[in-house]
Amino acid sequence: MHPHDMLPRDIAVRLIAEDGTALPDEAYALPAADVLLAAYRGLVEGRRINDQAGALVRQGRLAVYPSSHGQEACQVAAAMVLGDTDWLFPTYRDSVAVIARGVAPAEAMVLLKGDWHSGYDVRAHRVAPQATPLATQLLHAVGFAQAAKHRGEDTVVLALCGDGATSEGDFHEAMNFAAVFHVPVVFFVQNNEFAISVPLSRQTAAPSLAHKAVGYGMPGQRVDGNDVAAVLAVLTEAVDRARAGGGPSLVEAHTYRMQAHTNADDDTRYREREEVQAWLARDPLLRLRAHLTATGTLDDEAESRFAAGAEEIAAAMRTALNTDADLDPEDLFRFVTATRSPQREEQWQLLRDEIARSHPAETMTTGGPR
């Protein structure tokens, strides 16, 4: 591949215009109608999950929620392009992708509820724990893919990160290891223009983040991140390439974080309302709905079926999160290592004694609480 061919396009790939019109593209075909309909359902559910989680934060049922409101096209596409044997490596902002991949919303929210550091069975859904230390998970994704390749397994790994995370050294090392070892990883950057308060212009001076790919010897591509059709097409190509032994690639989605970084953030301090408003017109849901309605793929029946499904998910979230989990303090010690440490066991016993003293009725101890 000539270096020029590893460069992304000057303008991000788009398959559906903001008004819903299909835009023919020489390289990427519009996904089939049923795929787009499934994507739309995902968008509706994803939006509902984001909004429901936001409400649960305000009600104090979630400790924190980094919303992907506005980025649902990326979230849904990330889950849709993966097969059963593939793996997803998400960040804290990718709860919708995690749920779209099959994790129960209540389990996906365990981290944000504060009940544990991660709450789902990673192997059951082939989803790594959501990562907080930025860009670190990209290396895990590469190593994971290396192991799969080593054993000759049919696994493609999709590794997610934000625009800010591309500045970390680990992003660089992950891209480089993936390219040198030619492993089946797709790096998917959701460039939502902000890293908390820091705008993209303070993150990079590059023509685009996808231009970094050539420096590792892999193809890079840019896509309109609010056009789920385009994201599906571009990611599918990248996943297919990886599966066929064509090695890693980098996809940058241009999107926008419509809400504050998390509920704890105040975005009025660092960006103009007009800027946020302007992105409303590019909303991924409205765009796809316009397209599907115009093409007759989406009718009122389907629309209300999807809405009802999304409501069900939201209701399940509320039920799950309004229930206080039965937490066992001894879990603090239970999982640290698989092998024993006398030091920790001593501390564990101390905690057990404290608990026994504070719940004397439930235990055999004779001493009362302090």
Partner 1 sequence: MTIAEHETPVAAHTGTTTTMTMAAALNRALADALAADPDVVVFGEDVGALGGVFRITDGLTARFGEDRCFDTPLAESGIIGTAVGMAMNGMRPVVEMQFDAFALPAFEQIVSHVAKLGNRTRGGMRMPLVIRIPFGGGIGGVEHHCDSSEAYYAHTPGLTVLSPSTPQDAYSLLRAAIASPDPVVFLEPKKLYWSKGEVDTAVTAEIGSARIAREGTDVTLLAYGASVPLALEAAEVAAGEGRSVQVVDVRSLSPFDDETVTAAVRSTGRAVVIAEAPGFVSVASEIQARVFERCFEYLEAPVRRVTGFDTPYAPPKFEHWYLPDVDRVLDAIDTLHWEDDA
Ligand X SMILES: Cc1ncc(C[n+]2csc(CCOP(=O)(O)OP(=O)(O)O)c2C)c(N)n1
Q: Which residues are catalytic?
A: 257, 261, 270
CB 107 within 8 A of CB 119: yes
Residue 91 DSSP one-character state: B
Grouping H, G, I as helix, E, B as strand and the rest as coil, residue 24 is coil
Chain residues 253-282 in contact with partner 1, contact rule CB under 8 A: 264-266, 269-270
Written as one string, the DSSP assignment of 272-289 is -HHHHHHHHTT-HHHHHH
Nearest partner of 49 among 100, 86, 101, 125, judged by Cα: 100
Residue 47 contact among a copy of itself, Mg ion, partner 1, none, beta carbon within 5 to 8 Å by kind = none
| Long-range residue pairs from 167-171, CB within 8 A, at least 24 positions apart, any chain | 167/195, 167/203, 167/204, 168/134, 168/135, 168/136, 169/135, 170/134, 170/135, 170/136, 170/138, 170/139, 171/135, 171/138
CA 79-84-86 angle, to 5 degrees, is 70
Residue 141 contact among partner 1, a copy of itself, ligand X, none, beta carbon within 5 to 8 Å by kind = partner 1
Which is closer to Mg ion, CB of 178 or CB of 209?
Answer: 209
Q: According to CB under 6 A, which one of 45, 72, 86, 163 is a site residue for ligand X? A: 163
Which is closer to ligand X, CB of 76 or CB of 320?
Answer: 76
**Could you tell me the sign of the dihedral formed by the alpha carbons of 40, 80, 6, 217, in that order?**
positive
Which is closer to a copy of itself, CB of 201 or CB of 366?
Answer: 201
318 is written with which tokens?
């509320």
Chain residues 281-320 in contact with ligand X, contact rule CB under 6 A: none
Chain residues 155-214 in contact with partner 1, contact rule CB under 8 A: 164-165, 167-170, 172-174, 176-177, 180, 195-198, 202-204
Q: According to CB under 8 A, which one of 38, 55, 307, 325 is a site residue for partner 1? A: 325
Residue 119 DSSP one-character state: -
366 binds partner 1 (CB under 8 A): no
183 binds a copy of itself (CB under 8 A): no
Q: According to CB under 8 A, which one of 118, 197, 204, 365 is a site residue for a copy of itself? A: 204
Burial of 48 (0-12, 13-18, 19+ CB in 10 A): buried
173 binds a copy of itself (CB under 8 A): yes
264 binds ligand X (CB under 6 A): no
Chain residues 89-128 in contact with partner 1, contact rule CB under 8 A: 111-118, 121-123, 128
118 binds a copy of itself (CB under 8 A): no
| Cβ atoms within 10 Å, residue 127 | 25
Residue 242 DSSP one-character state: H
Q: According to CB under 8 A, which one of 102, 215, 246, 309 is a site residue for a copy of itself? A: 215
> Per-residue x/- marks for ligand X, 96-135, CB under 6 A?
------------------------------------xxx-
Residue 309 DSSP one-character state: H
Q: Which residues bind ligand X (CB under 6 A)?
A: 93, 132-134, 161-165, 192, 194-196, 257, 261
